[in-house]
Structure 1
Amino acid sequence: MLRPLPLMLTVLLATAGCAAVGDKGGGEPATGGTGPITFATGRDTTAYLQPLLDRWNQAHPAEKVTLLELPEAADEQRAQMVANLQAQSSRYDVLGLDVVWTAEFAENGWIIPLERGLFPLDRFLPPVVETAVYKNKLWAVPYTSNAGLLYYRTDLVKKPPRTWAELRDQARKITEKHDVKGYAGQFLAYEGLTVNFSEALQSAGGQILNRDGTGVTLDPAKAETALDFLLQGLREGWIPKESLSYKEEETRLAFQEGRLAFARNWPHAYGPARVELGDKIAVTRLPGLDGPGSSTLGGANLAVSAFSRHQQTAQEFIRYFTSLENERRVLTEGSFPPVWTELYDDPDLIKRFPYLPVLKESILAAKARPVSANYNQLSLVIASSVAKALGTPTPESAADAAVSMKSELDEIIRTQ
Structure 2
Amino acid sequence: MRWRRAAGRGLLVAALILAGYGGTGASAGEPADGDGRGPMTLVTGRDTTSYLRGVLTDWNRSHPAEKVTLVELPEAADEVRAQMTTSLRSGSDRFDVLNIDVAWTSEFAAAGWIAPLEAGRFPLKHFLPPVVDTATFGGRLYALPYVTNAGLLYYRKDVLDKEGRNPPRNWTELTRLARTVAPKYGLDGYAGQFLPYEGLTVNAIEAVQSAGGSILADEGARVTVDSDAARKGVAFLAEGVRDGWIPKEALTYKEEESRRAFQDGKLLFMRNWPYAHQLAGGAGSKVAGKFGVVPLPGPDGTAAGVLGGSNLAVNTNSRHKESAQDLLAFLSSEKVQRRVLTEGALPPVWADVYTDPGLVRRYPYLPTLKKSVLAAKPRPKSPRYEQVNLAVQAVVHDAMAQRETPEEAVERLARELGAIVRRG
Counterpart for residue 205 of structure 1:
212
Q: How many pairs does the alignment contain?
A: 392
SS in 1 for 2:64: coil
The TM-score normalised by the length of structure 2 is 0.90
Could you tell me how far 1:278 is from its partner in structure 2?
A: 2.9
Could you tell me how far 1:172 is from its partner in structure 2?
A: 1.0
1:212-231 equivalent positions in 2, closer than 5 A:
212-231=219-238
Q: Percent identity of the aligned residues?
A: 54
Work out whether residues 210 and 299 of structure 2, in 8 Å CA contact, stay in contact via their aligned partners in 1.
yes
Q: Measure, in 2, the Cα distance between the counterparts of 1:230 and 1:304.
A: 38
List gaps (5 residues or longer) in structure 1: 1-21
Deviations 1:164-221 (A, max 9, x none): 1111110111232111111000000000000000000011110111143221111342
Deviations 1:119-152 (A, max 9, x none): 0101101100010111111111100000001000
Deviations 1:5-60 (A, max 9, x none): xxxxxxxxxxxxxxxxx98335x653331111111001001111111011111111
The match for 1:415 among 404, 417, 423 is 423
The match for 1:79 among 78, 82, 100 is 82
Residue 323 (1) aligns with residue 333 (2)? yes
Deviations 1:259-297 (A, max 9, x none): 111000000000011122232111111111122211100
The CA RMSD over aligned residues, in Å, is 1.4
SS in 1 for 2:271: strand
1:127-206 equivalent positions in 2, closer than 5 A:
127-157=130-160, 158-206=165-213
Counterpart for residue 48 of structure 1:
51
Q: Please tell me the residue identity of whatever aligns with 1:139.
A: Y
Q: Please tell me the residue identity of whatever aligns with 1:281.
A: F
Counterpart for residue 32 of structure 2:
30
Residue 385 (1) aligns with residue 395 (2)? yes
Q: Measure, in 2, the Cα distance between the counterparts of 1:355 and 1:23.
A: 42
Q: Please tell me the residue identity of whatever aligns with 1:67.
A: L
Residue 96 (1) aligns with residue 96 (2)? no
SS in 2 for 1:151: strand
Residue 271 (1) aligns with residue 278 (2)? yes
The match for 1:400 among 395, 404, 408 is 408
Work out whether residues 174 and 181 of structure 1, in 8 Å CA contact, stay in contact via their aligned partners in 2.
no
SS in 1 for 2:292: strand
SS in 1 for 2:153: strand
Q: Please tell me the residue identity of whatever aligns with 1:343.
A: V
Counterpart for residue 356 of structure 1:
366
Work out whether residues 100 and 371 of structure 1, in 8 Å CA contact, stay in contact via their aligned partners in 2.
yes
Counterpart for residue 345 of structure 2:
335
Could you tell me how far 1:235 is from its partner in structure 2?
A: 1.6
Deviations 1:82-114 (A, max 9, x none): 111111111100000111111111111111111
Q: Measure, in 1, the Cα distance between the counterparts of 2:360 and 2:349.
A: 15
Q: Please tell me the residue identity of whatever aligns with 1:204.
A: A
Q: Measure, in 2, the Cα distance between the counterparts of 1:372 and 1:233.
A: 30
Deviations 1:214-272 (A, max 9, x none): 21111342222111111221122111111101000101111111111100000000001
Work out whether residues 97 and 324 of structure 2, in 8 Å CA contact, stay in contact via their aligned partners in 1.
yes
1:300-319 equivalent positions in 2, closer than 5 A:
300-319=310-329
Residue 253 (1) aligns with residue 254 (2)? no
Work out whether residues 153 and 294 of structure 2, in 8 Å CA contact, stay in contact via their aligned partners in 1.
yes
SS in 1 for 2:381: coil
SS in 1 for 2:221: coil
The TM-score normalised by the length of structure 1 is 0.92
Work out whether residues 103 and 371 of structure 1, in 8 Å CA contact, stay in contact via their aligned partners in 2.
yes
